[in-house]
Structure 1
Amino acid sequence: MTREDVLIDLQGIAKHYGEGETRVDALRSIDLQVRAGEVIALLGPSGSGKTTLLNIIGCILAPSAGRVTLDGEPVFDGHWLRRDLRRLRLEKIGFIFQSHNLLPFLTAEENVSVVLDLARWPADKARERSRQLLDYLEVGRRAAAKPALLSGGEAQRVAIARALANQPRIILADEPTAALDSKRAQLVMDLLRKLAAEQQACIVTVTHDEKIFDRFDRLIHLRDGMLSSDGPGVE
């Protein structure tokens, strides 16, 4: 693994809440590297620190200690090294959630292009990029439909398109298949694997969904805020 391959590099990450007798250690001394093209799962019981770790990678939550490097750029080392974290997330990170969280008053195409509007893309380029992604995800024919008229699978594909709109190399997914049946869940994960390979992105997924475990390159187990194992997923 070369330094250029590593998109997520966490060193000594810790997160605690409170002090003294009330202190709770959510994460303790986490070291983790994720390379381009890799799709990994964060597994563990409720309260093990999975979502906390995902939020630190996503620059939503500051760690109590440690160093975070994303796509070769140091972003946290005792404090945030960027002033504009919103811009950092727009540039580097795409988010996919269990609920698609599409804006109900916008069409599928508009839900994708709104991310590009925030990133200050020209309107015509934003529309073109949105259409390309929706076509790629085989939901282009639904571009003019609002979320209420989309099936669950279609809405999740639009949400994936939105996450990919600004061409991030780091994609974070929180229970993205929990609301889908087995067939659709496996299709979504196959799609994410394809995207990771073709765009040399990495995908980190928090999941309890056993029916998709074989779609991951690595299964990362967290227990009591610590990395308990780091094993292979797919052969």
Structure 2
Amino acid sequence: MSGQTRDAIVEIRGLSKHYGEGHTRVDALRDLDLTVRAGEVVALLGPSGSGKTTLLNIIGCIVEPTVGNIRLDGEEVYDNRWLRGDLRRLRLDKIGFIFQFHNLLPFLNARDNVAVVLRLAGKSGPEAQRRATELLDYLEVGSRKDSMPALLSGGEAQRVAIARALANSPRIILADEPTAALDSKRAGIVMDLLRKLAAEHDACIIAVTHDEKIYDRFDRLFHLRDGRLDGAEGDQK
């Protein structure tokens, strides 16, 4: 992939995050620079406590950095302070989240689990239902749209969760251990699907993972150790 010719979707400069002060201070992230471009699928690797989830949550505008600059999809959103008053709207507009456990609402069927995000974004009921059905069909799980989460297989539930993440057409998709609960075959299918989504939707996908069996599905691997990135460009795949 000619990544250097694609738009930069996530740009981070001089990012640090610490908790506490003085002798109790913990540096979760230290002076990070990171650029991820449209169409890229990249991984954040590292041992527990290395800062992976903190970084993912900062990109997702859930955790505030201590210092640094963040630009998302061409918009500067953080420069030593949040530049947006409504972070909830920012997340709805720009970011989709996929988790290790699908976190589907157990009292809603598959289609309504996707449609609820669209309703939160202000779409009408019929429009939300139509878009949800289109996404489930696109992800080849449309035949299960009326099924409750408890009746879905692990792979089906994860596809519904991916549909939910795509509901508002975000260009940034953040995934926290998206294949940890899946066997090797289903994990490979999910990663191939994420690669397809990144290419077809001109989006970028950033995943935290310990799942070595999917490393070859990423364009670049970024290693976090003690809050620092080893190599600004990551390991090219």
Aligned to 1:151: 153
Query: Deviation string for 1:162-185 (max 9, x for gaps)?
Result: 000000000000000000000000
- From 99, 120, 123, give the equivalent of 1:121: 123
The offset of 1:123, in angstroms, is 1.5
Aligned to 1:226: 228
Aligned to 1:62: 64
Aligned to 2:137: 135
In 1, the alpha carbon distance for the partners of 2:167 and 2:136 equals 10
Which AA in structure 2 matches 1:189? Answer: M
Query: Deviation string for 1:95-152 (max 9, x for gaps)?
Result: 0000000000000000000000000012111111100100011100000001001000
- From 171, 174, 187, give the equivalent of 2:173: 171
Aligned to 2:191: 189
Q: Which TM-score applies when normalising by structure 1?
A: 0.98
Which AA in structure 1 matches 2:161? Answer: A
In structure 1, the gaps of 5 or more residues are none
Q: CA RMSD in A?
A: 0.8
In 1, the alpha carbon distance for the partners of 2:64 and 2:224 equals 19
Alignment partner of 1:20 is 2:27: no
In structure 2, the gaps of 5 or more residues are none
- Detail structure 1 runs of 4+ shifted over 3 Å in the superposition: none
In 1, the alpha carbon distance for the partners of 2:46 and 2:197 equals 25
Aligned to 1:212: 214
Query: Deviation string for 1:192-217 (max 9, x for gaps)?
Result: 00000000000000000000000000
- From 2, 6, 9, give the equivalent of 2:8: 6
In 1, the alpha carbon distance for the partners of 2:156 and 2:214 equals 19
In 2, the alpha carbon distance for the partners of 1:43 and 1:142 equals 34
In 1, the alpha carbon distance for the partners of 2:153 and 2:141 equals 11
Alignment partner of 1:71 is 2:73: yes
SS in 2 for 1:16: strand
Alignment partner of 1:34 is 2:30: no
In 1, the alpha carbon distance for the partners of 2:194 and 2:8 equals 18
In 2, the alpha carbon distance for the partners of 1:123 and 1:166 equals 14
In 2, the alpha carbon distance for the partners of 1:215 and 1:121 equals 34
SS in 1 for 2:28: strand
Which AA in structure 1 matches 2:165? Answer: A
SS in 2 for 1:42: strand
Which AA in structure 2 matches 1:232? Answer: Q
In 2, the alpha carbon distance for the partners of 1:157 and 1:150 equals 10
Which AA in structure 2 matches 1:158? Answer: V
In 2, the alpha carbon distance for the partners of 1:194 and 1:33 equals 20
In 2, the alpha carbon distance for the partners of 1:132 and 1:28 equals 42
Aligned to 1:201: 203
In 1, the alpha carbon distance for the partners of 2:189 and 2:236 equals 20
Identity of aligned residues (%): 72
The offset of 1:228, in angstroms, is 1.1
